[in-house]
Amino acid sequence: MSDELVQILEGNTFVVSDDRGDIEASATDPTGLFSFDTRFLSKWVLTVNGQRLTALSTDDLQYFQTRFFLVPGSGTVYVDAKLSVIREREVADGFHEDIRVLNHENVPVDLKIRIDAASDFADLFEVKDALAKKGQYQAQVTDSSLVLGYRRETYARETWISSSSPAVIDDKGLEFSVTVPPHGEWSTELEVVASTGALDGFSASTTGIRGEHRVHRDMARGLEKWLKHAPRLECDWEPLELIYRRCLTDLAALRFSTLTMPGRSLPAAGLPWFMTIFGRDSIFTSLQALPFTSELAATTLMALAERQGTRIDDFRDEDPGRILHEMRYGELTAFEERPHSPYYGSADATALFVVLLDEYERWTGDARLVLHLEQAARAALNWIDEYADLQGNGYVSYQRRNEQTGLENQCWKDSWDSISYRNGDLPGFPRATCELQGYAYDAKVRGARLARLIWKDPALADRLEKEAADLKRRFNSDFWVEDGEYFAVALEADGRQVDSLTSNNGHLLWSGIVEKSKARAVARHLLGPRLFSGWGVRTLAEGEARYNPIGYHVGTVWPFDNSFIAWGLRRYGFKDEAACIVAGIMEAAEVFAGRLPEAFGGYQRTTTRYPVRYPTACSPQAWSTGAPLLLLRAALGLEPHGDNLVVDPALPMRIGHLELLDVPGRWKRIDAFGRGRVDTDRMTRR
Amino acid sequence: MAPLKTSEDPVSQFFVALAEQGRIATFAGESATLRFDIADGEAVERWHVTITSGDVAVTRKQDAADAVVRIQRPQFEAIVTGRLNAQAALLRGLLSCEGSVAALMMFQRCLPGPPGSTGRVGPISGQAVMAERRPA
């Protein structure tokens, strides 16, 4: 068999199989049919006369649909195949599979076609950590279907398997004894439905499942409509058109509907393991996509407000006003063995929620949503002062209260060694990382704007502005590393600066907390040899003790990070510097055929020539998918100004002429044009 | 309308307190109706909650509602005293919701947190972190 895994999905249901379409999961092997964070099929193997099949080719028709061309036998035996098999599969609330067997001979053939099916009903967390199950399995055979089940107390999940042609069904699968006429064909349709018991009633699309392909036609139409509604891009540099189209298609695949808003979509964090709401990822992706589609932002804001924290819950790290980190639906969450119902351990999502709300209003003029979410935004702003200031020193910091299954690092760089001193020492907890202060500052400034303009509460606006100014003043003195001329990545509980040089400085520009007099030094670092690799800004600067060009948050280049850094550079008027980031990341995207990975190696560009992919299970990932969109915004200098959209391009020379047509917003639709004039090669000395 | 009885019973205490607050900040601007059908052996006890732009009214009527929530009494007692998380209970099949799950999702925001939660945790020193982790 091949190592290539094929994955298709719709919403939070997805199938990972081998290139034959077969699923043979082991406890730790991540293939299967998954829905609501549970594996509903761990075995799904097709045989013809007891023989496994071999793939001739596999076509990903759409992100929710794949076709497998197969022949019986393995290895080289199939050269003379007298039979071929075509499996076509599409995901809905489970999946639908057409199997066609073609006889290429002049004589009829008798065949035993069998599907072996089984399920371990593993929670996604169990798949990752290989944990043992606590409930009982059952299999039930009826005339027309096989029902695989799992039950633990009142928790029940079932997989329903049925076929359109008569089959002999046993508790391990379905068997068809058929005669295929000369040059004829036999076919059947298999239906696999993932049933979540109590949750089924909420899944609106379930009703469409047996409606003869209605589901997939709707999906295909949805994708078409999505692409048609996005602004049109035309450009002299062809790769950019490919990158743009790839982004839009991947973003469509990453759309996810919650149980409470079935008709609306928000961006899930990544495919396939993170097809769920993540506060931080959904917000960043919505921000990146705002100039292209505002629906993702609106749904994200509503979905996060709906589940905003309202109480003190140490297990979930929940506080009143806090915006969630991650939501899960699997067995471990159901039995409170994991805190994801939802889990709130994120120190940035709450401030970013207010940032997104304001940015959304600036683009769309949708005051109604801002009014509707007034209470949620006020509660979020209150959280920053009331619950996030763990040390009482006026800075946002984090420390998990759930010490077993909570998250240690609650900022976007969430790995254990991401926050360190120059010498590699790790700080204690609570930790006040610098970008959190930037987000809090921006939330206050933007909250003040909304309070004055839309909530008609000038007293709140005045207070927020005063607090923001005070925070900015203190921050620029407390976090500024004098001998390095940049901002420390964090403050220790005792006020000591965690003094390594990191990409977080770029986020500080984005949030506006950097005093003008310090901005040039920060920009110089971002484009300087220690941080800038030639492709983009490294997470941690070369020369720091923990620097590693293939370390997750300690040296790799993250496209998402860079897109916000570019926006930050623009904010402070460093147009040419922003263009350098745009050029580097877009050229990397070209190498990755339009789909940027989560991260790639921080090696010097002149050394490796090609960006080296960081191995990760998740692709596409939402905020990497959104990165080129935000970079386009930064390159064209798109900025809402009242009811107008300001266009102030600073494009890398290579891009040449660029048109972005029909940019939607409160101005209805506006076209943006630019011509590449910035010699980014010269600036970055390549 | 019959007066709501106060007693030692956590379920009626919860609903009475809700009605007494009248206005719940987290419901500001929201409107929905919910009915809780709480099974206690053979008997079913009903509580009807109407939220109108954040104002809450509670009755014992069997009126229709956007969301009808069915649950056994011991589990509901656990939920209204913070010992069981409503979302986890839903995933576990301990409660069912007919109609608008959005209404239920909104409602759960007024439920209390676990009794033992303090919101506090002791700081951890850099030395303690380093002792557990490998140096650079």
Same domain, A247 and A297: yes
pLDDT of residue B132: 86
Phi-psi region of A432 (alpha: psi -120 to 50; beta: other; left: phi over 0): beta
For residue A60, the SS3 value is strand
Same domain, A562 and A521: yes
Per the prediction, chain A carries an average pLDDT of 92
Summarised one tens digit per residue, pLDDT across range A98-134 is 999 999 999 999 999 999 999 999 998 887 666 678 9
Mean pLDDT of A387-393: 96
pLDDT of residue A76: 59
- CA-based Rg of chain B, rounded to a whole angstrom? 19
Summarised one tens digit per residue, pLDDT across range B63-80 is 999 999 999 999 999 999
Q: Are A532 and A585 in contact (CB under 8 A)?
A: no
Whole-number Cα distances in Å, A483 to A161, A487, A501, A521, A577: 67, 11, 12, 12, 23
Name the residue with tokens 């399995």: A137
Tell me what ipTM this predicted complex has: 0.94
The pLDDT of residue A213 is above 50: no
What's the number of domains chain B is made of? 1
Domain assignment of residue B129, yes or no: no
Q: Which domain holds residue B16?
A: 10-114
- Cβ-Cβ contacts under 8 Å, A428 against chain B: 123-129
Same domain, A199 and A264: no
Same domain, A367 and A481: yes
Summarised one tens digit per residue, pLDDT across range A327-346 is 999 999 999 999 999 999 99
Question: Within an 8 Å CB–CB cutoff, is residue B26 touching chain A?
Answer: yes
- Which residue in A402, A426, A401 sits closest to A415, CA to CA? A426
Question: Long-range contacts: A388-394, Cβ < 8 Å, 24+?
Answer: A388/A347, A388/A350, A388/A436, A388/A440, A390/A430, A391/A430, A391/A432, A391/A493, A393/A432, A393/A495, A394/A470, A394/A471, A394/A474
Domain edge (last residue) among A198, A218, A238: A218
Domain assignment of residue A661, yes or no: yes
> Tell me, what CATH number does B65's domain have?
3.30.1050.10
What is the share, in percent, of chain B residues with pLDDT greater than 70? 93
Summarised one tens digit per residue, pLDDT across range A578-613 is 999 999 999 999 999 999 999 999 999 998 889 988
Domain assignment of residue A223, yes or no: no
**What span, in angstroms and rounded, lies between the C-alpha atoms of A36 and A287?**
26
Residue B42: other Cβ atoms inside 10 A:
5
- Cβ-Cβ contacts under 8 Å, B96 against chain A: 198, 201
The pLDDT of residue A47 is above 80: yes
Residue of B26, B93, B106 with shortest CB distance to A156: B93
Domain assignment of residue B72, yes or no: yes
The pLDDT of residue B135 is above 80: no
pLDDT of residue A274: 86
> Pick the residue with more confidence: A262 or A633?
A633
**What span, in angstroms and rounded, lies between the C-alpha atoms of A397 and B82?**
27
Q: Which residue of A has its CA nearest to B110?
A: A310
**What span, in angstroms and rounded, lies between the C-alpha atoms of B75 and B67?**
18
What is the share, in percent, of chain A residues with pLDDT greater than 90? 79
- CA-based nearest distance B2→chain A, Å: 31
A671 token code pair: 């076209």
Same domain, A166 and A290: no
Q: Are A425 and A442 in contact (CB under 8 A)?
A: no
pLDDT of residue A271: 77
pLDDT bin (cut points 50, 70, 90) of residue A199 is low
What strands, in cross-sheet order, belong to the sheet with A668-678?
Answer: A232-235, A657-665, A668-678, A651-652
Domain assignment of residue A271, yes or no: yes
A186 token code pair: 């036999």
The DSSP letter of residue A612 is P
Q: Which residue of A has its CA nearest to B89?
A: A334
For residue B120, the SS3 value is coil
Residues 6+ apart with CB under 8 A from A294: A360, A363, A364, A366, A664, A665
What's the number of domains chain A is made of? 2
Yes or no, beta carbons of B113 and A312 under 8 Å apart: yes
pLDDT of residue A468: 98
Q: What phi, psi does A641 have (nearest 5°)? A: -135, 100
The pLDDT of residue A29 is above 80: no
Domain assignment of residue B47, yes or no: yes
**Widest distance between CA atoms in chain B:** 70
Name the amino acid, one letter, at A559: P
- CA-based nearest distance A373→chain B, Å: 8
The pLDDT of residue A205 is above 50: no
- Which residue in A584, A475, A576 sits closest to A523, CA to CA? A576
Q: What share of chain B is helix, strand, coil (3-state, %, to 5)?
A: 35, 25, 40
Domain edge (last residue) among A185, A218, A251: A218
- Cβ-Cβ contacts under 8 Å, B129 against chain A: 426-429
Domain assignment of residue B18, yes or no: yes
Mean pLDDT of A354-369: 98
Name the residue with tokens 């023989």: A51
- CA-based nearest distance A249→chain B, Å: 29
The pLDDT of residue A210 is above 50: no
Same domain, A151 and A258: no
> Pick the residue with more confidence: A131 or B126?
B126
For residue A494, the SS3 value is coil
Domain assignment of residue A224, yes or no: no
Q: Which residue of B has its CA nearest to A153?
A: B92
The residues with which A92 forms a beta bridge, in sequence order, are A94
Mean pLDDT of A253-273: 84
Yes or no, beta carbons of B113 and A318 under 8 Å apart: yes
Yes or no, beta carbons of A311 and B111 under 8 Å apart: yes
Strands A651-652 and A490-491: unpaired
Mutate which: B92, B108, B118, vs A, most A CBs within 10 A: B92
- Cβ-Cβ contacts under 8 Å, B131 against chain A: none
> Tell me, what CATH number does A210's domain have?
2.70.98.40
Same domain, A209 and A239: no
> In b/e form, how buried is each residue of A657-677, taking b as 16+ CB within 10 angstroms?
ebebeebbbbeeebebebebe
The pLDDT of residue A255 is above 50: yes
Domain assignment of residue B105, yes or no: yes
B81 token code pair: 């005293």
Mutate which: A324, A328, A375, A416, vs B, most B CBs within 10 A: A375
Q: Which domain holds residue A649?
A: 230-683
Same domain, A44 and A18: yes
**What span, in angstroms and rounded, lies between the C-alpha atoms of A388 and A167?**
60
Mean pLDDT of A412-435: 97
- Which residue in A466, A461, A428, A427 sits closest to A446, CA to CA? A461
What strands, in cross-sheet order, belong to the sheet with B95-99?
Answer: B55-59, B43-52, B32-40, B67-72, B95-99
**What span, in angstroms and rounded, lies between the C-alpha atoms of B116 and A315?**
10
Domain assignment of residue B121, yes or no: no
pLDDT of residue A27: 63
pLDDT of residue A28: 62
The pLDDT of residue A140 is above 90: yes
Domain edge (last residue) among A218, A242, A261: A218
pTM of the model: 0.94
Yes or no, beta carbons of A545 and B127 under 8 Å apart: no
CA A273-A274-A275 angle, to 5 degrees, is: 100
**What span, in angstroms and rounded, lies between the C-alpha atoms of A381 and A56?**
57
Question: Within an 8 Å CB–CB cutoff, is residue B71 touching chain A?
Answer: no
Mean pLDDT of A546-562: 96
- CA-based nearest distance B116→chain A, Å: 8
For residue A101, the SS3 value is strand
Mean pLDDT of A506-518: 98
pLDDT of residue A350: 98
pLDDT bin (cut points 50, 70, 90) of residue A1 is very low
The pLDDT of residue B51 is above 80: yes
Mean pLDDT of A258-287: 88
Domain assignment of residue B41, yes or no: yes
**What span, in angstroms and rounded, lies between the C-alpha atoms of A485 and A497?**
13
Same domain, A247 and A207: no
Among B residues 88-127, those touching chain A with beta carbons less than 8 Å apart: 88, 90-98, 100-102, 105-106, 109-114, 116-121, 123-127
Annotate A523-566 with three-state secondary structure.
HHHHCCCCCECCCCEECECCCCCCCCCCCCCCCCECHHHHHHHH
The pLDDT of residue A383 is above 80: yes
Interaxial angle between packed helices A214-229 and A238-253, expressed in degrees from 0 to 180 and rounded to the nearest 10: 140
Same domain, A599 and A619: yes
- CA-based nearest distance A376→chain B, Å: 7
> Tell me, what CATH number does A290's domain have?
1.50.10.10
Mutate which: A341, A370, A409, vs B, most B CBs within 10 A: A341
pLDDT of residue A239: 97
Domain assignment of residue B4, yes or no: no
Name the residue with tokens 């917003």: A665
- CA-based nearest distance B72→chain A, Å: 12
- CA-based nearest distance B37→chain A, Å: 16
Of A113-127, A657-671, B76-90, least confident by mean pLDDT is: A113-127
**What span, in angstroms and rounded, lies between the C-alpha atoms of B81 and B9?**
11
Summarised one tens digit per residue, pLDDT across range A564-576 is 999 999 999 999 9
Summarised one tens digit per residue, pLDDT across range A471-483 is 999 999 999 999 9
Same domain, A189 and A280: no
The pLDDT of residue A43 is above 90: yes
First to last CA, chain B: 70
Same domain, A195 and A343: no
